[in-house]
Every structure is written in C-alpha cells, then in structure tokens.
Amino acid sequence: MNDDDVARVLAGARTDRTPPPDLECATLTALRSRGAFAGSIRSRVRRRLMQAMLVAAALAIGVWIGSMRAPRAVPAEPRFLLLVYMNPEYRPDGTGDVAREAEYRAWAEALERDGHLLIGNKVAWGGVEFRPNRPRIERASVPTPDEARGLFVILAPNEQAALAIAETCPHLKYGGRMVLRPMS
C-alpha cells in the first residue's frame, strides 16, 4: 500500500462520526509495529543517499588503488643494467646494514628524482640455479661472491653518461664490484 492508496481510502471514509480519541494513537502504533512506515519517502531518500555515498567511496578507492598500480611509461632513452656484487674485497664500514641500506636508498631515490632510474632492487641470498641437462642447484642462504646483491636499471642518453652515474653508487666506496651492461 502506497501513499496514493491511503489517500483514496481516507477520501472514502465517513466523516459524519467522530472516532474515539485514542484510535489514532492505537492505529499509528499498530502500523509502526508492522513496518508500515519503514518505506517512507524520507527513509528511502536516506537509504538512496547512503548507497550513492558508498558507491562514490568505492569508486574513489578503486581509482586511488589503480593509480598506485598503474605501470610507468618506459622512456625511450637507452637503458643500462647495473649489477652489484659482494666480492671478497667488500668491506662494510661498521655502520651496520640499516645505515648502509639507507645510503643506497638515498642514492637510488636521487637517481629516480632526476629521471635516471627505472628500477632499483636489493636481491635476496640464495635461489635456484638452472643449467641445461643438469639437475637444478638449490643455492644456500649464505652469500657467495658470484651472486648479484642488487640491480638497477639506469636511464642514460649514452654509455658514458651511464658510467658516470654508476660511479656515484655507494657500493664502490665499500670495495664492492659492479657490472654495467647495455640493455637492448
């Protein structure tokens, strides 16, 4: 029953008699207890408004997450792979891993701000080595000098510029070994 139906019923009601005084209160109480007013216009408007706000919030969160995961456009500038190794000459300065990692991170962030770094990651110890016609080799979690410890993809206009960038890496300060290779 909607508002129009109620209006029709009331229009046809007798008006020559006065209803008992507490009939209106008893009728409203009975209608409320049966949920007759749950679908009022005001509650429907509130419910629609809440649904619209939830949809808008979900869309905003989706756009925000999508913008975080959107891949960066890869510049057409030549790329160079810089591999960082921990050779036997590597000598930590005693500042500890946290301070040293912060130094590497600051170097990489500066390169990224200047538009010279596409990727920079530390490489974990161990892994699995694959060779043709041989069983795979599970590498121990103990580092060996021939394992890369980090990699950077550097953007530079030419090899000389990439070499100049690589020479600023803190790894050289500690006696580490690095290899710079052009990428095609």
Q: 182 Cβ partners below 8 Å, 6+ apart?
A: 78, 79, 80, 81, 159, 162
Q: Is residue 78 a contact partner of residue 158, using CB atoms and an 8 Å limit?
A: yes
Per the model's pLDDT, the better-predicted residue between 106 and 54 turns out to be: 106
Which stretch of 2-6, 106-110, 129-133 has the lowest confidence by average pLDDT? 2-6
Beta-strand pair 127-129/177-182: unpaired
- pLDDT per position as a tens digit, 61-90: 766 666 665 555 555 678 999 988 876 666
- Of the ranges 65-79, 107-121, 131-145, which is most confident? 107-121
Is domain 79-182 given the CATH code 3.30.70.1060 in the classification?
A: yes
CATH 3.30.70.1060 residue window(s) in the chain: 79-182
